[in-house]
Structure 1
Amino acid sequence: MVKVGQGPMGLYTISDYLLDVLHYGQIREVFGVPGDYNLRFLDHILTRSDLEWCGNGNELNAAYLANGYARQLGLAAFVTTYGVGELSAINGFAGSQTEGVPVLEIVGLPTTATQQQQKRVHHSLGDGQFDHFQTMHQELGIMTEVVSSNHAVAAVNRVIRKLVTTKQPAYLGLPSDLTELPVHPTFKQLIPTLFTAPNATPVPTVPFQLMQQAVYQAEHPLVVIGQALAQFHLGAAVQAWLAAQGFPFVDLIESKGVVTESMSQFKGTYHGKIANAALQAQVEQADVVFLLGSSLSDVNTAGFTHQFDPEHTITMTPGVISIYGETLVEQSPEHFPTWIQQLCQCQRATPMPSSAPTVPVRPAEPVPQPQQPVTQAFYQAALAHFVQPNDVVITEQGTSQFTVEDLRLPTDAEVITQPLWASIGYAFPAALGSLLANPNRRHLLSIGDGSFLLTLQELGFAIQHQLTPIILLLDNQGYTIERVIHGEQARYHDVPQLNYQHLLMAFGATPETYRFAKITTETELITQFRNLQHATPKLTLLQIRLQKLDAPKTLRKFINLLYDDE
């Protein structure tokens, strides 16, 4: 094997430099699909002992896997070929842009000579123009760079710096003739500087004074936890601040578990008018609401029915600081941590008292009724008991997402979901990426049969890499969330009914490497959950049969609020 940091030909090249950068960023696996424009770059991955090539069923799945991986480790990379490959991935990549997940896409491009001579080559539109697809990514707000013979290291450095400081994805084009471009090994000394935090920008005096005053004087404060705190690894700092101040807090669907829900001050997952009456009253009575990194989308807010009064709200996002309805600071995302850290320096003279128990009582296991068919309500109650501390729960858009909304997660458990981009099929590959990045945490995937069909090719990936997710497949014979929206009995909501046990074997599983059970009754579900609590980890698929129109009550309320004007 070639020495790490040295290409197949024995020279130190731009490919080696890029891979050294990725490895320094804690990346151990690189995802993607081979294509003739990226093959020489892939050769460099195969020569290394510190990186593994993990090929996927298609580029879309690779983008989803990278998203889940980056949510655990803070950075991920996947490789596609020009045109057909990058367009196949662009849906998943746009999800990373929308949700703020730092993923690098490396695109193998035709040679510089081919582009300069405007040749009519495969995977292009045949018009001699080779920047169409890069422009598409730019239109989505994604930073793009292309390696050139004169600016190779600089191009790599710019995209990595973008990923590290803003937590947004980036695109790097690598012409196939430049993969072996020699660069001086001394540039490796620059790599640590790419991952250092930006210099802290002084916080303007007036906004900071107003924040301090709010912390000191608020009688009924409420903190709303947002997903951006996870993106910038600020959850622990905010958690410590909340514990010290005694402030009550809520999270949103997007941010469940960013701050552990086992804290005594946690009041629930807020979801506009869908939330229970006590939680809505907590929001309405707050004299100061701190919105920390929250994305107030239609899904997060139950159709924008949230009740945050701007005149009593301090909003801190990666782009804006707004205090009491006035935008006082517009900033680049890299300055967001400075503001949160400054907020965490604001201390009350004495913390607020809390009458809640220190640790919430674990939900009781529901009592199954013999031969009683499983319902969404029973599944939700059973899942609440089944989730353990430190679990990662991945939910698909739809019934699964609304099933976990009211769960109070145990210590250090978290939820991964995609409420804003909401691309069905995302959850399964994302779960595999997250599990590959952090194999020491148990991963539970709750997904409907319709969503699973879109990306089930990655069962082969899971089996090949000996991954052991617990897949809770809600078999409701189609797209139940769409049935609730419109056309309950319409045929376009139906999906093919598969033999999932045979599907596992078709993708290479053996009886020794997987568990499968088809569940139709409450007793069967509880039995399987009990058996799994102390079982040896294996790829597990529980096919849980539900009725077509059985949807969580919160989902039905949400749909009524979202579409009440139609």
Structure 2
Amino acid sequence: MAKDEIPLGLLLWQKLRNLNIRNIMGVPGDMNLELLDYINEVEGLNWVGNANELNAAYAADGYCRVSGVPGVVVTTMGVGELSALNGIAGAYTEQVKVIHIVGTTPLVAHEKHLMIHHCLGPSPDHKVYEKTSQHVRTAHCWLDNPATAAREIDRVVHECYAKSLPVYIFVPIDMVDRKVPAPSPSQLDLAPLTDELSKKAAISATLNLLYKAKSPTVIVDALTSRHRGKDVTRKLVDLLQFPTFSTSMGKSIIDETKPYFCGIYNGQVSTPEVCEVVEQKSDLVLDLGPLLADSNTGGHSRKITEQQTIAVHPHQVIIAGMVYRNVGLESFLSTLLETIEKSRLPRVASPGRAPLPAPKDADLEQITQSWIWTRFGEFCRPGDVLVAESGTAQFGFPDANLPEDVTYITQVYYGSIGYSVPATLGAAVAHREQNREGRVILVVGDGSLQLTVQEIGTMVKLGFKNIIMSVSQSPAKYTPTDFAQRGN
């Protein structure tokens, strides 16, 4: 082997490690075993291994939400690939970066339509599963040509970052050891393309409205975080000091201890005080990273007019109905932050977070829904990662006041029960990578827990001491005092 050549399998893992990816989820299979062997040759890259492929996909999703880099899941074609599909669909729906690597049959089997295990029927199409996943990915490639392999990896990785969506990389088993040119040290540009003229016009229009506003508000939604805008969003709201709200999916992006944080806005599901500030008193709404799903908008019940809104989407900005295309979210917010003249901003008194209405069941001695969720907020500490299962927990946690630097994870839009347990594993892996203070806490229903409970075994194997609380909707047997003793 020439000094400037390396095996294709090694090339793939080196490129992923250069993205600061440190852990790989997945399940071994006969068509990916040789590829997995090369993980051990890359310093700082580790194989996690999961109980099944669906869990692995969920874990990759959770890993990305905490680490900020793509989660990676490896399966074998067909039987493993399809098992992971639901987890990849959830990542696609909620715009989470995941790279799904599939080990496939050798190229000669493709050419001759050989009946190899994991294929479908007589004279099988060995690429049929690739067609199955086309609706849950933004790009894919086949590493079937040594001359183009490096470029193809870079292309799909760029799309994964630029769109914040899953991508697929298919690796035929007979290509893993093929020699390819060693990667160059050049840095891959991961940012989406931004039209500078369009961005300049959008910045000008935004500043014009901000400086004229009398009672502006800010809504922070999930896509600010998904599209690498979390840090700049926090700096921007700190500068603006406008009354600021999160959505159900955007919870914890903004520090909830800040005096300008006023709670969760979820359309008409919100408290009356929140609706009043956003929908009646505000003359301008800066809507950052909106994801307008039913469960994130109170069943599409938001009453905010287009003319009073500056909506910063991942790839465009809409200002009072005018669309400025090809403007990346992070690029726009960064430029806006640098351009704002603080002295020209309106000074708006923040109403703060309105207290919750007094619960009707406050006198009960047993644990109730109205009591448990605010207690969970008190239980959390700075640095914690809090994972909530679909359903009851998602409806309860908006009532909880979280301390600073808590990462809240839940799958609100796609809403696949069972997501949270493997996502907790992925979150814990990323949390450990970062050497962060705090705990990893999972709140899951007793029914959902049964779907993916196997991944608790992986947590034990890796030495995690995650806190898992299984919450049932059946009448509580414990009093609040019992809960406090067990929780602390």
Same fold (TM over 0.5): yes
Number of the residue aligned with 1:128 = 124
- Out of 471, 476, 481, the residue aligned to residue 474 of structure 1 is 471
Are 1:93 and 2:88 an aligned pair?
Answer: yes
C-alpha separation in 2, matches of 1:459 and 1:29: 18
C-alpha separation in 1, matches of 2:260 and 2:348: 7
CA deviation vs aligned residue, 1:337-379 (integer Å, no higher than 9, x gap): 2222233233342554455599x8999xx9xx99933222221
Cα deviation for residue 384 of structure 1 reads 2.1
Are 1:270 and 2:228 an aligned pair?
Answer: no
Secondary structure class of the residue paired with 1:189: coil
Number of the residue aligned with 1:509 = none
Cα deviation for residue 49 of structure 1 reads 4.4
C-alpha separation in 2, matches of 1:415 and 1:58: 25
Cα deviation for residue 519 of structure 1 reads 6.9
- Out of 4, 11, 36, the residue aligned to residue 42 of structure 1 is 36
Provide the TM-score with structure 1 as the length reference.
0.79
What is the aligned length? 473
Are 1:426 and 2:419 an aligned pair?
Answer: yes
Are 1:253 and 2:248 an aligned pair?
Answer: yes
Number of the residue aligned with 1:448 = 445
C-alpha separation in 1, matches of 2:342 and 2:288: 18
1:245–1:347 CA contact under 8 A, matched in 2: no
Are 1:401 and 2:394 an aligned pair?
Answer: yes
- Out of 11, 15, 28, the residue aligned to residue 9 of structure 2 is 15
Number of the residue aligned with 1:563 = none
Secondary structure class of the residue paired with 2:398: coil
* Structure 2: stretches of 5+ with no match in the other structure: none
Report the more deviating stretch, 296-305 or 132-141.
132-141
The higher relative CO (CA closer than 8 Å, separation ≥ 6) is in 2
C-alpha separation in 2, matches of 1:178 and 1:144: 17
Are 1:107 and 2:102 an aligned pair?
Answer: yes
Q: Letter of the 1:306 partner, please give it.
A: R
Distance 1:195 1:66, change over 3 A: farther
* Structure 1: stretches of 5+ with no match in the other structure: 1-5, 481-517, 531-566
- Out of 368, 375, 379, the residue aligned to residue 386 of structure 1 is 379
Number of the residue aligned with 1:562 = none
Number of the residue aligned with 1:417 = 410
1:519–1:525 CA contact under 8 A, matched in 2: no
Number of the residue aligned with 1:71 = 65
Are 1:524 and 2:482 an aligned pair?
Answer: yes
- Out of 167, 171, 174, the residue aligned to residue 168 of structure 2 is 171
Q: Letter of the 1:424 partner, please give it.
A: I
Are 1:30 and 2:24 an aligned pair?
Answer: yes
Cα deviation for residue 243 of structure 1 reads 1.8
Distance 1:308 1:58, change over 3 A: same
CA deviation vs aligned residue, 1:54-85 (integer Å, no higher than 9, x gap): 11111000000000101122222110000111
* Root mean square deviation of aligned Cα: 2.7
Q: Letter of the 1:237 partner, please give it.
A: V
Distance 1:45 1:141, change over 3 A: closer
Secondary structure class of the residue paired with 1:180: coil
C-alpha separation in 2, matches of 1:427 and 1:118: 40
Are 1:294 and 2:290 an aligned pair?
Answer: yes
Provide the TM-score with structure 2 as the length reference.
0.91
Q: Letter of the 1:123 partner, please give it.
A: H
Number of the residue aligned with 2:221 = 226
2:163–2:192 CA contact under 8 A, matched in 1: no
Q: Letter of the 1:324 partner, please give it.
A: A
1:264–1:354 CA contact under 8 A, matched in 2: no
CA deviation vs aligned residue, 1:229-252 (integer Å, no higher than 9, x gap): 112332222222222222111111
Number of the residue aligned with 1:240 = 235
Are 1:349 and 2:325 an aligned pair?
Answer: no
Distance 1:206 1:330, change over 3 A: closer
Q: Letter of the 2:132 partner, please give it.
A: M
- Out of 305, 314, 336, the residue aligned to residue 318 of structure 1 is 314
Cα deviation for residue 46 of structure 1 reads 3.4
2:61–2:96 CA contact under 8 A, matched in 1: yes
C-alpha separation in 2, matches of 1:123 and 1:520: 50
CA deviation vs aligned residue, 1:490-522 (integer Å, no higher than 9, x gap): xxxxxxxxxxxxxxxxxxxxxxxxxxxx97332
2:24–2:46 CA contact under 8 A, matched in 1: yes
Cα deviation for residue 188 of structure 1 reads 3.6
Cα deviation for residue 165 of structure 1 reads 2.6
Are 1:160 and 2:157 an aligned pair?
Answer: yes
Secondary structure class of the residue paired with 1:447: strand
CA deviation vs aligned residue, 1:124-144 (integer Å, no higher than 9, x gap): 112421222211222334311
C-alpha separation in 1, matches of 2:135 and 2:288: 28
Number of the residue aligned with 1:538 = none
Report the more deviating stretch, 133-142 or 404-413.
133-142
C-alpha separation in 2, matches of 1:381 and 1:153: 50
CA deviation vs aligned residue, 1:228-276 (integer Å, no higher than 9, x gap): 1112332222222222222111111111111211111111111111111
CA deviation vs aligned residue, 1:133-177 (integer Å, no higher than 9, x gap): 211222334311110124211221111112233222110000000
1:320–1:329 CA contact under 8 A, matched in 2: yes
Cα deviation for residue 381 of structure 1 reads 2.8
Are 1:307 and 2:303 an aligned pair?
Answer: yes
CA deviation vs aligned residue, 1:427-465 (integer Å, no higher than 9, x gap): 111111011111233111111011111100001100000
C-alpha separation in 2, matches of 1:383 and 1:140: 34
Secondary structure class of the residue paired with 1:130: coil
Q: Letter of the 1:33 partner, please give it.
A: V
- How does 1:326-365 map onto structure 2 within 5 Å? 326=322, 328-331=323-326, 335-344=328-337, 345-353=339-347, 355=349
Q: Letter of the 1:528 partner, please give it.
A: R
2:137–2:168 CA contact under 8 A, matched in 1: no
